[in-house]
Amino acid sequence: EPDKHNVLDRDGWHALADAMRAFSARSGLACVVLSGAGGRAFSAGSDISAFATQRDTPRDARVYSDAITGALHAIRSCPHPTLAVIEGLCIGGGLEIAACCDLRICEASSRFGAPITRLGLTMSYDELKPLMALLGQSHLLDILLSGDLIPSSRALSIGLVNRVVPDGDVIAQGRELAHRIAAGAPLVNRWHKKFIQRLADPTPLSDAEREEALHAFETADYREGRAAFLEKRDPDFRGE
């Protein structure tokens, strides 16, 4: 709902999860782009007007939280590269969605925050986890405790976004970035995403995991990339 800054009620969170699972199942995809409709907001998060019927009691809150964390997990577990293209506001649950993407690009006037201390509700551990991984304890607590909305320059300096572009350019530049990602070897992009996420787990790597890092050298895409480099042409990767 663009007129409500693309807020999501419980059904909206379920729909987002379903869409991401469908994208994950499509082996031919090279990049998934998430953006908000209307040009004024990526998302302002959960629809507070629906809380009276959907998030009124601890039991309701548990069911609602499961819907949120299901969507966030579906984004995080997507094997394809994910890119958040952010216009305008990125608040609350919208901030959580963006944090679960691999890359984030925003426009100069974008603002970010999670002023839920003013609503008297908490983020669950599962909601906090991707934000904590991205920002660290100090920056995340600053956002949560102050309730402030921070500008794009601050978001860039703390690592919340990867790139800031002039207003009016973010959709075009986001599309260009997605095309550059898609031009790479898709299997390699998926492997690198998998490896980097695995390195966040302190459990020692197994021999099988270390061996997987060599599988790229068995692919047709490796042979194509090597040939294209020597022949001074663009590679034609097939994900094989």
pLDDT at 3 over 80: no
pLDDT tens-place string over residues 120-165: 999 999 999 999 999 999 999 999 999 999 999 999 999 999 999 9
Q: Which domains does the chain possess?
A: 2-181 (3.90.226.10), 185-231 (1.10.12.10)
Cα–Cα distance between 79 and 189 in angstroms, integer? 9
pLDDT tens-place string over residues 58-116: 999 999 999 999 999 999 999 999 999 999 999 999 999 999 999 999 999 999 999 99
Q: Can you tell me which residue has the tokens 């197994």?
A: 206
Q: Are 116 and 148 in contact (CB under 8 A)?
A: no
Radius of gyration of the chain (CA): 19
Q: Are 23 and 32 in contact (CB under 8 A)?
A: yes
User: Which pLDDT band holds residue 56 (cuts at 50, 70, 90)?
Assistant: confident
Q: Can you tell me which residue has the tokens 């984004």?
A: 75
Least Cα distance to 163 among 110, 125, 90 occurs for 110
Report phi then psi at 30, rounded to 5: -115, -20
